[in-house]
Amino acid sequence: MSSLSTTIKFPLINESYVQPTGLFINNEYVAAKSGKTFKVISPINEEQIAVVQQADDKDVDVAVAAASKAFQTWKFTKPEVRARLIYKVADLIEQKKDLLAKIEALDNGKSLVCAQWDLNLVIQYLRSVAGYADKADGRTISTGADYLTYTKREPLGVCGAITPWNFPLLMFAWKVGPCLATGNTIVLKPASATPLSNLFAAQLFKEAGFPAGVINVVPGSGRTCGGAILHHPKIKKVAFTGSTVVGKGVMRDASESVKKVTLELGGKSPNIVFQDADVEKTVQNLITGIFFNGGEVCCAGSRIYVQATDEKWYNSFLAKFKEETEKLKVGNPFAEGVFQGAQTNPEQFQTVLDYLKIAKDTNLKVLTGGHRIGNKGFFIEPTVFYDVPQDSQLTREEIFGPVAVLLPFKTIDEVIEKANESEYGLAAAVQTEDINKALYVADRLEAGSVWINTYNDLQQNSPFGGYKESGIGREMGLEALDNYTQVKLVRVKIVKPEL
């Protein structure tokens, strides 16, 4: 074993693996130029998992140089060759799927159930985007018989990506997939809290046959490593997923060198329940909407609007939601039957606790939950407050944890107005058996995704992204190719030949 790897044991199960800890640049794991490292802490028990090399601006320079050199060849690589390599890496990830899910659970704190869902979508998405490699088409334009006018889509060059800690490998795939499929190269900074799965997966790209420099993974701090990516003049595009506050800063910093920017930011998504909904299915949709991944989901259905024209039905619905929520098992992700694991880092854990205190101080009604679990690890009870005012701080602000507010409504116009009364617009949902009502409301919701009788139902060929302050651009689907290509016009003057 080299000094740039370490053996890690998983808790509760008799398994271990070798984790790369170096920066992945030019198809090799290397030490940081500064010699600096940082500790990776498990949210399950607050103990050190590994020590990882810490990239700064000098390492980003080296990675960008490698990516720039690789781009000169990669951009002319045939689309079918790029597709074949992406299919191959998807196959390799599938072979390592169980191990990668365990790495995610250990590093992020999410349950194995959630991590396995992530890995399935990672594999499905990489295969989907591989199929788009030869479909970034241009068009011919009718401009008269004396001209041939056409457009072509070309790659941008070296792209930068800064990904979050809530879905480490999924966000990695969402950035890397369309970037490489369209002929770009990439320098990616994973979140400092959760770099392990990205570093492990990087070697699979080399094994699949990707040329050196096409993909580079450089863990480091947001200020130094992330800042270097945003300001680097040779990086032509930046993809960022994270909070709206940080996203605004990303836009400002990237503008200094006129980069293309896509942002997938925060949310405070409404999940609307009508009295004609199937109660059993709807309650499970609410649970998936807010408690999946410990509520650390940008599109989480954290504002639940429930029709309350029939008080008896309303109270019965609350009782059913409470009953099913309290059945959820919270704890060590490696324990059998756990649905909700730990919050990912101490800062976010404290943020959620602070919101629970605000709820207590403002006398919000507790349907269930509201407390920390244990005194070791970052575990919080699945929590629901009910009959919450529209102007409550918990209604307006993104909590990013297993906390939902439930608000009653009586008319369609009322709930549409309340649902849209937010700076965010990432997602929304409608729970009803009346398709006319569902489509009427869906058409009027200001959100990038609207789910009907489901929630968090992402699909690899369908675009995902936000309205308003929830972001710019789309992940997945054909729309993702727009983020990584630019249009070139070619116009040819045709002169009648003389024989």
- Of 121, 27, 129, 130, give the one whose Cα is nearest residue 84: 130
Mean pLDDT over 120-136 rounds to 97
Q: What pLDDT, on a 0 to 100 scale, did the predictor assign at position 258? A: 86
Residue 119 belongs to what domain range? 5-265+473-487
Strands 403-409 and 383-386: parallel
Distance CA 71, CA 214 (A): 7
Q: What pLDDT, on a 0 to 100 scale, did the predictor assign at position 257? A: 87
Q: Which tokens belong to 118?
A: 């992530």
Active site residue ranges: 264
Report the predicted TM-score, pTM, of the whole model to 2 decimal places.
0.96
Q: What is the DSSP string of 239-281?
A: EEES-HHHHHHHHHHHGGGT-EEEEE-----EEEE-TTS-HHH
Sign (positive or negative) of CA dihedral 128, 192, 240, 348: positive
Are 291 and 192 found together in one domain?
no
In the chain, the percentage of residues whose pLDDT exceeds 90 is: 98
pLDDT band at residue 300 using 50, 70 and 90 as cut-offs: very high
Are 225 and 296 found together in one domain?
no
Strands 37-41 and 48-53: antiparallel
Please enumerate in sequence order all residues whose Cβ is within 8 A of that of 4, keeping only pairs 6 or more positions apart, or say none: 20, 21, 22, 29, 30, 31, 53
The answer to the question of residue 372 being in a domain is yes
CATH of the domain at 84: 3.40.605.10
Are 237 and 313 found together in one domain?
no
Q: What is the pLDDT of residues 186-226, one digit of tens each?
A: 999 999 999 999 999 999 999 999 999 999 999 999 999 99
Are 308 and 180 found together in one domain?
no
Q: Residue 2 pLDDT > 80, yes or no?
A: no
* CA distances (Å), origin 218, targets 89, 172, 342, 404: 19, 12, 25, 35
Mean pLDDT over 269-284 rounds to 98
Q: What pLDDT, on a 0 to 100 scale, did the predictor assign at position 477? A: 96
In the chain, the percentage of residues whose pLDDT exceeds 70 is: 100
Q: Starting at the edge strand that comes first in sequence, how are the strands of the sheet with 147-155 ordered?
A: 140-141, 147-155, 485-493
The answer to the question of residue 109 being in a domain is yes
Q: What is the pLDDT of residues 237-256, one digit of tens each?
A: 999 999 999 999 999 999 88
Q: What is the DSSP string of 71-138?
A: HHHHTTS-HHHHHHHHHHHHHHHHHTHHHHHHHHHHHH---HHHHHHHHHHHHHHHHHHHTTTT----
Q: What is the DSSP string of 294-308?
A: GG--TT---EEEEE-
Mean pLDDT over 264-273 rounds to 97
Place of tokens 């004396």: 146
Q: What pLDDT, on a 0 to 100 scale, did the predictor assign at position 243? A: 94
Mean pLDDT over 76-101 rounds to 98
414 burial level (CB within 10 Å; 0-12, 13-18, 19+): middle
Q: Residue 290 pLDDT > 90, yes or no?
A: yes
Are 239 and 279 found together in one domain?
no
Mean pLDDT over 154-167 rounds to 98
The phi, psi pair for 59, rounded to 5°, reads -70, -35
Q: Residue 452 pLDDT > 70, yes or no?
A: yes
Strands 303-307 and 270-273: parallel
Q: What pLDDT, on a 0 to 100 scale, did the predictor assign at position 85? A: 98
Distance CA 10, CA 6 (A): 13
Are 191 and 276 found together in one domain?
no
- CB-based contact 242:168 (threshold 8 Å): no
Q: Residue 263 pLDDT > 90, yes or no?
A: yes
Q: What pLDDT, on a 0 to 100 scale, did the predictor assign at position 420? A: 98
The answer to the question of residue 133 being in a domain is yes
Q: Residue 3 pLDDT > 90, yes or no?
A: no
Q: What is the pLDDT of residues 42-73, one digit of tens each?
A: 999 999 999 999 999 999 999 999 999 999 99
Total domains in the chain come to 2
Strands 303-307 and 403-409: parallel
Identity of the amino acid at 144: G
Are 252 and 284 found together in one domain?
no
Q: What is the pLDDT of residues 421-443, one digit of tens each?
A: 999 999 999 999 999 999 999 99
Q: Residue 1 pLDDT > 60, yes or no?
A: no
- CB-based contact 268:470 (threshold 8 Å): no
- CB-based contact 24:203 (threshold 8 Å): yes
The answer to the question of residue 25 being in a domain is yes
**Residues paired with 240 in a beta bridge:** 162, 263
- Average pLDDT score, the chain: 97
Are 203 and 275 found together in one domain?
no
Q: What pLDDT, on a 0 to 100 scale, did the predictor assign at position 464? A: 97
**Residues paired with 189 in a beta bridge:** 162
CATH of the domain at 278: 3.40.309.10
